[in-house]
């Protein structure tokens, strides 16, 4: 069987993970976080970073134990059971399938704020149409273009922070350094955790690099280190950027919560900067949505090819373009839900799947390294039981802190997965098919 070439270094893997995160998303979701936390966005990101830190440690442990592609699906399947592995894969599928919807919805909200005469649903359809057409034809962005798009995002972020500092410095009544974005005198932990549950959407991507295991040099060392670096770098970006934006705009009231950063950009930089910001955000969202739809359709194709999903629909490629057209179009149809959902519910819904997968990965560490270990000293107790348990508890807490509508939608998705698993395994009597990620990665 053909194997993927191991060419990726630590720096390459870290860059992939940061790019997958789309750092400018910290501005895209600022409004809904500010409203849900009553003006303590940095506190929400800090809480999310702590939770993701322990989960990232568990991903690193499992990547070292099983250096194969497949991420949560492979880890849970090998460490606990194939059936629970299927549930982990089903949870990850929720992210892949619905992530383009959330990305396009955020972009559409900002374009609608810039051009209020045009309805938001029109922008959603434009995003869906263009990205679907590109993915069907099979055009892929070159690495150089991706690097350029990353540079544009970082430049916009740096400019945004610099203008926030300049804006605050010009107002002697507002100190540049304040504890209020973290503690405003009326802090309520439920508010912080509710915001953190949404803020974790920005961290999606630290786990994605585990799918590059078979293309990475010395993956047992490189992938765990990359996961930790991505989580810490991403968290530093999110906490620091949100801090300065919160200082510049301490209120959590906006004309449009879904496009709050557009309003802030106009206040701190005027019409010229708001145009630059909008271009940077839309470029980031477009590139991210294009990649997310390509990844989601590729996963659906792999599941169809291996018999996990109906092969006749998902496991086929277009004769001319050689792309999984059925899966691409399904992603486009699912994205039409954006016409009926807001940004808060859509991002929270996706996070439900992420938290479920994260929880199972933390549980996998306990099963593989603690329950199945011969030696159980103090070091093993801390690293392989205490730390993953903290990650598990944090993920469950974040899950129950999500928007109620998102929880109901997430539980419905989970129920569908359990029913499908029962059908696939003849009433749970046999094991589900196993995906071959050597071909799918």
Does the pLDDT value for residue 286 go beyond 60?
yes
CA 401 to chain centre: 17
pLDDT the model gives residue 387: 95
By the 8 A CB rule, do 116 and 244 touch?
no
CA dihedral 246, 250, 254, 256 (to 10 degrees): 10
d(C-alpha 190, C-alpha 168), whole Å: 29
Does the pLDDT value for residue 141 go beyond 60?
no
Mean pLDDT value across residues 49-62: 92
Minimum mean pLDDT range among 111-115, 188-192, 393-397 = 188-192
Does the pLDDT value for residue 256 go beyond 60?
yes
Minimum mean pLDDT range among 36-50, 75-89, 200-214 = 200-214
d(C-alpha 390, C-alpha 371), whole Å: 17
Mean pLDDT estimate for the chain:
85
Mean pLDDT value across residues 252-267: 88
Mean pLDDT value across residues 42-63: 92
Tens of pLDDT, residues 322-338:
778 898 899 899 888 88
**Per-residue confidence at 440, pLDDT binned at 50, 70, 90?**
very low
| pTM for this model (two decimals) | 0.84
Nearest to 386 by CA among 135, 89, 57, 155: 57
Tens of pLDDT, residues 201-245:
888 877 777 666 666 788 888 888 988 999 999 999 999 999 999
By the 8 A CB rule, do 105 and 250 touch?
no
Tens of pLDDT, residues 114-138:
899 999 999 989 988 988 888 887 6
Does the pLDDT value for residue 340 go beyond 90?
no
Mean pLDDT value across residues 141-153: 65
Does the pLDDT value for residue 185 go beyond 70?
no
d(C-alpha 247, C-alpha 168), whole Å: 7
Mean pLDDT value across residues 402-419: 91
**Per-residue confidence at 433, pLDDT binned at 50, 70, 90?**
confident
Nearest to 67 by CA among 207, 208, 226, 216: 216
Per cent of the chain over pLDDT 70 is: 91
Does the pLDDT value for residue 429 go beyond 80?
yes
**Domain coordinates of the chain in residue numbers?**
10-440
Does the pLDDT value for residue 65 go beyond 50?
yes
By the 8 A CB rule, do 422 and 83 touch?
no
**Per-residue confidence at 152, pLDDT binned at 50, 70, 90?**
confident
List Cα–Cα distances, 211 to 1, 360, 382, 440, in angstroms: 18, 17, 27, 10
Minimum mean pLDDT range among 61-75, 258-272, 365-379 = 61-75
Which ranges of 249-402 does DSSP label H, i.e. alpha helix? Answer: 260-305, 311-314, 325-335, 343-365, 378-381, 387-400
d(C-alpha 167, C-alpha 174), whole Å: 10
d(C-alpha 31, C-alpha 36), whole Å: 9
Does the pLDDT value for residue 250 go beyond 70?
yes
The CATH code of the domain at 10-440 is 1.20.1740.10
**Per-residue confidence at 146, pLDDT binned at 50, 70, 90?**
low
Q: Is the dihedral of CA 117, 102, 226, 194 positive or negative?
A: positive
Tens of pLDDT, residues 354-407:
999 999 999 999 999 999 777 788 888 999 999 999 999 999 999 998 888 889
pLDDT the model gives residue 439: 45
Nearest to 94 by CA among 416, 419, 317: 416
Mean pLDDT value across residues 174-200: 80
d(C-alpha 230, C-alpha 21), whole Å: 9
């Amino acid at each position: 069987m053909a194997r993927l070439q191991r060419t990726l270094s630590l720096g390459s893997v870290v860059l992939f993970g940061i790019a997958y995160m789309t750092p400018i998303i910290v501005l895209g979701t600022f409004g809904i976080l500010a409203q849900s936390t009553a003006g303590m966005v940095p506190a929400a990101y800090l809480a999310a970073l702590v939770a993701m830190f322990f989960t990232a440690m568990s991903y690193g442990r499992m990547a070292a134990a099983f250096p194969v592609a497949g991420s949560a699906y492979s880890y849970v399947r090998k460490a606990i059971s194939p059936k629970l592995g299927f549930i982990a894969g089903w949870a990850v599928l929720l992210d892949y399938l619905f992530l383009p919807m959330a990305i396009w919805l955020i972009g559409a909200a900002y374009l609608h704020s810039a051009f209020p005469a045009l309805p938001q649903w029109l922008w959603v359809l434009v995003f869906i149409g263009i990205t679907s057409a590109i993915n069907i034809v099979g055009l892929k962005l070159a690495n150089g273009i991706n690097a350029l798009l990353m540079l544009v995002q970082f430049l916009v972020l740096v400019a945004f922070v610099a203008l926030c500092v300049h804006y605050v410095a010009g107002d002697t009544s507002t100190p540049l350094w304040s504890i209020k974005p973290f503690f405003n005198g009326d802090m309520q932990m439920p508010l912080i955790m509710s915001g953190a549950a949404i803020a974790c959407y920005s961290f999606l991507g630290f786990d994605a690099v585990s799918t590059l295991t078979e293309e990475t040099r010395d993956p047992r060392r490189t992938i765990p280190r990359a996961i930790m670096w991505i989580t810490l770098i991403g968290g530093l970006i999110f906490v620091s950027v949100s801090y300065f934006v919160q200082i510049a705009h301490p209120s959590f009231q906006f004309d449009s919560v879904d496009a709050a950063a557009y309003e802030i950009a106009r206040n701190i930089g005027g019409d010229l900067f708001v145009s630059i910001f909008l271009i940077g955000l839309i470029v980031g969202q477009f590139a991210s949505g294009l990649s997310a739809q390509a990844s989601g359709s590729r996963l659906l194709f792999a599941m169809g090819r291996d018999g996990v999903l109906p092969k006749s629909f998902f496991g086929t490629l277009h004769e001319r373009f050689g792309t999984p057209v059925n899966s691409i179009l399904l992603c486009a149809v699912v994205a039409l839900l954006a016409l009926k959902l807001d940004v808060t519910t859509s991002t929270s819904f996706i996070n439900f799947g992420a938290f479920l997968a994260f929880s199972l990965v933390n549980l996998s560490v306990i099963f593989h390294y603690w329950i199945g270990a011969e030696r159980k000293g103090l070091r093993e107790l801390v690293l392989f039981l205490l730390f993953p348990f903290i990650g598990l508890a944090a993920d469950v807490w974040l899950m129950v802190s999500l928007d109620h509508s998102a929880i109901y939608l997430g539980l419905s998705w989970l129920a569908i997965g359990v029913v499908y698993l029962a059908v696939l395994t003849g009433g749970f009597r046999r094991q589900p098919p196993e995906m071959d990620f050597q071909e799918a990665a």
